[in-house]
Every structure is written in C-alpha cells, then in structure tokens.
A and B are shown apart, each in its own frame.
Chain A
Amino acid sequence: MQTQILLVEDDVEAARHILQGLRESGYSAELCSDGREGLLRATAGRYDLLIVDRMLPHLDGLSIVAILRQKGDRTPVLMLSALGTVSDRVDGLRAGGDDYLIKPFAFVELLARVEALLRRHAVEGAAPSALRVGDLELNVLARRVMRAGREIALTAKEFQLLEFLMRRAGQVVTRTMLLEAVWNLHFDPQTNLIDVHMSRLRAAVDRGFDCPLLHTVRGAGYMVREREVAPAGVDLGAATG
C-alpha cells in the first residue's frame, strides 16, 4: 500500500506544489488548510506521516501535535514554520514534533526528512549494532569499520558520519541533517563544510575500490548505496572519488 501523508498548511499555493512533489516521489499526499480540520483528520489515524505548519487558522500546529501526543498517537510529525529562531525550533520539538523545517526550504530537504522519519518509524526499537552495505561493515559496539575484510581507520566524527549514513542506506541524507545529527548544530554553515568532511570520509571508505558506496546526490546531499540507482524524485550526480 502507498504511504499516506497528510499536509496541514494554510498557504494553499505553496502546499499545492509540495503535494505535487510528494506525489511525484511516490507518496499519496492529501492537503488540509485548517488547523481544527487537520486535527480531526489526523486523529482518524490512517496516515503514516503528518507535515504540519506551525501557524494555522483555528488551531495552531504546536497544539495539534501536543493534542495528538496526549492521545498517545505516535504518528511521526514534521513541523514546518516561518519561525526560524533557535527557541522556535526547541518549542516545536518539545511539543512533540519529530523534526522541524524552516521555511523557505528546498524540496529535497523536505523529501529527505520525510523519508528519514518514515524509515525511523518503521524500524523503531530495532537499531542493529552491526550495519552492512555491500562489502562495507560497521560495528557500532566495537567501533570498527571493515571493507572487503580490510580494516578502515576513521576518526570519531567520521565514524559517526558513516554510521548515520549507513543506518539510512538508500536514503538521501542532506548536509543539514548531517550537521544536526553528528554535530548537534542547527545552523546553515556558509561554506562547504560538510562536503570537505564527506570527501575525507569518501577517501577513507571508497579509495582503492571499484565500486563506490558513498554517493553525492546532486542538489540534495549524500547517500550510501550499493548500486548506483537513484530513488524516485532525485538525481544522482556523478560520484566523485
């Protein structure tokens, strides 16, 4: 069955484009432009993911999430907001949102986070300590990385980066997601910070192997994947080694 997403957003014009993008990416998406109606439809419980804008007519996004969580509804929620300061984000996550995206955002960023939330929800409770993609193995407990039986030496941050990517093998991971997850930083670096770290990681993991595993997804971010096949909706750029 197709994944069901409910978008609660009062900016209908913007929402229409997002809806279209989600559908092109293979999701079944519906729109609701009123807060109270959004809560009613979300409680009906047939959605896999909610994308909720923070400022809505009749009932704001924070209240919707808070009410859902109070009822024990654990459907993943991605909050959207034009309020972009640090405390706004904290408020959004504290209310029960699983992720927080500030407008305006790139569609690929939204898509990557939607995918991450859906997968996380699917594998909740089962976080394997040994990860494997192709001939690359990562043991979380032993903090060891092996490729084709050969040990790869990584710094602590490189290990964290690789672990984050391998847990999401086959998914696009954006630079912002990496900065948030590995460094716990919620800001936009003005330089190509993450790219430099990734090229170091790639040099360690892929150099000397025929089949690259770390891929750059043009205009979006990175992906760890065995075969070079793009998921729906994103371009796979030429992997640079």
Chain B
Amino acid sequence: MPHRHLHYSTNRLAAIYVGLCALCVGGLLWVGFLFTARALEREVDLVIATELDALKDDYDEGGLQRLVDTLNRRTDSWGRNGAVYLLVDSGNHKIAGNLSGWPGDQRLLNGWIEFDIVARGSGREQDSYHPVRAEIYNLDHYRLLVGTDVSERRQIAARLRDTTLWGIALAALLSAAIGWWYSRRVAARVRVVAQTCEKIISDDLTQRLPQAGSHDEFDQLAAAVNHMLDRIEQQTTAVRATFNSAAHDLRSPLHRMRVRLESAFRRPGIDPTARAALDAAVDDLERVQRTLATLLQIAQADSPAALAGEEPVDLAELGQELGELYDPEARERGLELTVQTRGPANVSGNRQLLAQLLANLLENAIKYVPAGGHIGLTVEGDTRLASLTVSDNGPGIPQHAREPVLQPFQRWEDSASRESSGSGLGLSLVAAVVRMHRGRLALSDNDPGLVVRCEFPLAQKAAA
C-alpha cells in the first residue's frame, strides 16, 4: 500500500519538498546547459560571419581572382582549424574550396545550412562523418559557402548535456534521500509523542512526555502536552477526591439510618403499618447504598491505582462459573443460557471486577430478554486478545442509543419501564471495568437483539 504513506503529513511535506528541490536544481542546471550550448553555437556563427565578410571584401576589391587566391591560401594549412569553403559558379561547378560538391539544396542563395561531410580515411582509417555549419552568400553569378566543422563542439555540447542530466538525476536522488531521512526522523518523533500520549491517557495519567532538552518545536510540544496533562490530572484528582469523600461521608449517615431503622424494627409489639413502612425504608436505603457502591466502583476503576493488585484471571473459567451461577435464574425466567469457551483466555486484572462485569451483562440480558429468548456467553482467546461476548435475541438497543447507555444513569427504554429497571449504572460499570483492563467495548446488533463484546489484551507470559 504505497499510497497509505502519503497520508502522513510529514511524508507528504517531504515529498513536496523533494519534488520542488529536484525541480529547482534540475531547471537551473538545464538552463545553464542551454546557455552554454547556445554560446558555443554563436561563437561558431560569429567566426563564420566575420570570415564571410572578409571574403566579400576581397571579392569587392579584387574580383573573383582575389577571392579564389584567398580561398586557396586558406584551404592550405594556414586556414583555421576545421574550416570549410566552397565557391561555385552559376552552373554549380566548383571554382575553389575544400569541398567536393555543393551540399544540400542546389538553389539556395543566402542563409545558414547544416550538413555532414565525409572525411576520407587514409590507409586503414575509416571514413568519418563530421557535422558542418555554414553560411552561404550570393556574389553576382557565384555562390560562396563558408562553414566550420562543429563535430568537436557538438561533442562538447553532448558531453555537457549528459553531465547536466546526471547532475539533475543526482540532485533528485540526493534530495529524495534527504527528504526520506528527514520525514522519517520527524515522523519518528511525532510517533513517540503520539504513542506516549496514548499510553499516558490509557494507563497512567501521572506519566509525562520526555523532553530532549534541545528546546526545539518538539520540546515545546511536549511541554504544552505535559502542561495539559497536569491540568487534566489535577481536575480528575479533584473530582475523584470530592466524589470519594462525598460517597464516604454519605455512608456513615446511611449506616446510622439503617441501624436505627432495624433497631426500631426489632422492638417487640411494633404495629404492622409501622413495620411495613420501616421495611420499605430499608429497601430504599439498600437501593441508595447499591447505587453509591457502584458509583464508587466506577470511580475506582477509572483511577490510576485501579489495577494495583493485578492477578492472572482466566476469563474462560470465570465465564463458565458465572454462566453456572446465572443458569438457574435464566431458566426460571424461561430463557436459555449457553456458555461457549474456546481456548484459555488469560488476562491480567481484578477477578472480582471482571466477575462483576460478566454479572452485569448477564443480569441485563436476563432482565430485558423476554421469555423464550436465548442468551449466549462466548469467551475466546487467541494469540493476541481475549474476548468475551454476551449476545441475546431480546429487544436490543437502537444504534443511536448505544453510546449514551455506557454513560452513568442513561437508559434507552421509554420511561414507562423505568420503574422495574436497575440503577442505570450497569453498563457504565462494565465500560469502566473494560477501560481499567485496557480493553475495548463494542455494542452491536444481533438482528434482533444485542451483542456486547469486550476485548482484553492477553496477560504477559511471566518471564521465566
């Protein structure tokens, strides 16, 4: 999946940077090459034009004979290197020069032409082709061609072009390498920050991001994140402390209330109306107490020290036990409860809270699934995860209500049936216990019914 990597902004940025950089360097080199090649050509043209002018002067001053003399002299070793001359009459017959015949278009009177000449090899040397650039000038009935063998210059230009292309390729390669290295480095640092943040949020809010001490942007980011974490920790600690002390402060008066009620209850000769009232009061008290206990449990599950006393727990075994515990009750209500376990599912955690989680899920299902229904409890363990699934074919929970029911005191059903239901904390305790065990909780549709799936990381094998 090569495209996936482009989703990371550092990679994208690096790719853009590399592209631009390669384009700039390449363009610069290419322009340089073009200018150099052009300058070489123009130098040739200038030499030819100058020489042609001088030859025209010779013709104007001394007529044909003087021009022929000059040309003959120049075609000797005195001539400049690689010079090519040809003077022909109106019948295209050669008068002077070092070319055997008129090249190219026979009728051209003026202008620049390019053609190849063949230098006959002497002895074992092979014939060689040479590109020539030449200017033609019309002198009355004659035509004069002055040119230069540009093969050497062309070779230089070609070499220059190759060098330039190599340079461009090298620049592109180099910038790609630098870009790759740079983006890897940035991405690695970002990844470290992200992973540490993740770990802090899920595991331990007291941890902080490390700072390299280089005062760069990453250190600034770490400092900002740490500051934010400080605030979050302060707030959650304050909220938890307030809540804990409130809950504990409530327990003492509740306890006193209960003890007093029961003491009155035991008094001999108490009349039946008072007895019933006391009974109802004790029942209410019990409900308040249960809600309080669950809230405390949720708060504790979310606290950093929650898993302090971790122990190995086999979810498969726990599932069997809880299934056995709830089976008679399910049957009593006309429900079928089946437990399936596949493989050991050893997690590290708190057995009591995990049992409570299972109990809440089973109690919920027993409460909501109508008689004749089915409840399935499945525990599976693989190499990575242990999963625990409770599914039923009851009324289920509509999609839009699945997230809210995990919050405390949220129930999705209409208020008419609220009377009979529990505190509304069952699923939020489940969610808290899952969070505490670094797991994942998902509610989905069983068509019809509800599937609650909890996934937990497997316990680390004890180091031998």
Residues in A lying within 8 Å of B, measured CB to CB: 11, 13-14, 17-18, 20-21, 24, 82-87, 90, 102-107, 157, 183-193, 196-197, 200, 233
Interface-located stretch among B45-53, B61-69, B249-257 = B249-257
Closest 7 CB pairs of A and B: A104-B255, A82-B251, A103-B255, A17-B263, A104-B258, A17-B259, A196-B328
Cα-based distance from A87 to B304 in the complex (angstroms): 13
Chain B residue numbers with a CB within 8 Å of A196 are 328-329, 332
Q: Is the CB of B263 within 8 A of A86?
A: no
Roughly how many angstroms separate A86 CA and B309 CA in the complex, as a whole number?
Answer: 10
Check A85/B297 contact, CB under 8 A, given A20-B263, A185-B355: yes
- Out of B251, B332, B355, B356, name the residue touching A104 (CB < 8 Å): B251
Residues of A within 8 A of B127 (CB): none
CB proximity of A223 to chain B, nearest CB, Å: 18
A-B contact pairs, 12 of them (CB 8 A): A20-B263, A21-B263, A82-B251, A103-B252, A104-B254, A104-B255, A185-B355, A191-B363, A191-B366, A193-B326, A193-B329, A200-B328
**In the complex with contacts A87-B309, A103-B255, A104-B259, A191-B293 CB distance below 8 A:** no
Number of inter-chain CB pairs below 8 Å: 98
Asked if B325 contacts A104 (CB within 8 A), the reply is: no
Residues of B within 8 A of A197 (CB): 325, 328
Chain B: residues with CB nearer than 8 A to chain A?
A: 248, 251-252, 254-260, 262-263, 266, 282, 285, 289-290, 293, 296-297, 300, 308-309, 321, 324-326, 328-329, 332, 350-353, 355-356, 359, 363, 366-367, 422
Q: Which residue of A lies closest to B307 (CB)?
A: A87
Q: B289 contacts which chain A residues (CB < 8 A)? A: 104
Provided the pairs A104-B289, A187-B359 are in contact, do residues A87 and B325 lie with their beta carbons within 8 angstroms? no
Separation in Å of the A150 CB from the closest CB of chain B?
23
Contacts of A157 in B (CB 8 A): 324-325
Report B-chain residues with C-beta under 8 Å of the C-beta of A191: 329, 363, 366-367
A107 touches B262 (CB 8 A): yes
Q: Do B332 and A86 touch across chains, with their CB atoms under 8 A apart? A: no
- State A102–B328 Cα separation when bound (angstroms): 28
Contact yes or no, B266 A183, CB < 8 A: no
What is the CB-to-nearest-CB distance from B228 to chain A, in angstroms, rounded to a whole number? 29
Q: State in angstroms the CA–CA spacing of A21 and B259 once bound together.
A: 9
B356 contacts A187, C-beta separation under 8 Å: yes
Chain B residues closer than 8 Å to A103, beta-carbon distance: 251-252, 254-255
Contact A183 B321 (CB under 8 A): yes
Chain A CB count within 10 A is highest, among B259, B262, B351, B366, for B259
Q: Report yes or no: A82 in contact with B255, Cβ–Cβ below 8 A.
A: yes
**How many angstroms between the C-alpha atoms of A183 and B353 in the bound complex?**
14
**Smallest CB–CB gap between A65 and chain B, Å?**
19
List chain B residues, Cβ under 8 A from A17.
259-260, 262-263
B residues in contact with A102, CB < 8 Å: 293
| A129 nearest CB across to chain B (Å) | 25
Chain B minimum-CB-distance residue to A55:
B248
Chain B residues lying within 8 Å of A82, measured Cβ to Cβ, are: 248, 251-252, 255
| Neighbouring A residues of B350 by C-beta, 8 Å | 86
Given contacts A105-B255, A187-B359, A190-B290, 19 further A-B contacts (CB under 8 A): A11-B252, A13-B256, A13-B260, A14-B252, A14-B255, A14-B256, A17-B259, A21-B266, A84-B293, A84-B296, A86-B297, A87-B300, A87-B309, A102-B293, A103-B252, A104-B254, A185-B352, A191-B363, A193-B326
Task: Among A13, A85, A193, A200, point to the contact of B325 (Cβ < 8 A).
Answer: A193
Docked pose: A101 CA to B266 CA in angstroms: 21
Q: Are A86 and B353 in contact (CB-based, < 8 A)?
A: yes
Q: Are B258 and A106 in contact (CB under 8 A)?
A: yes
Task: List, in ascending order, chain A residues with CB within 8 A of B356's CB.
Answer: 187
Query: Which A residue's beta carbon lies closest to that of B366?
Result: A191
Contacts of A14 in B (CB 8 A): 252, 255-256, 259-260
Bound form: Cα–Cα A31–B285 in Å: 26
Name the residue of chain B whose CB is nearest to the CB of A91. Answer: B309
**Is B257's CB under 8 angstroms from A104's CB?**
yes
Closest B residue to A195 by beta carbon equals B329
**In the complex, what distance in Å separates the CA atom of A17 from the CA atom of B262?**
9
Residues of A within 8 A of B308 (CB): 87
Nearest A residue to B256 by beta-carbon distance?
A14
Q: Bound complex: CA of A87 vs CA of B305, how far in Å?
A: 10
Shortest CB–CB separation between residue B24 and chain A, in angstroms? 64
Asked, given contacts A11-B256, A104-B251, whether A190 binds B262 with beta carbons under 8 Å apart, the answer is no
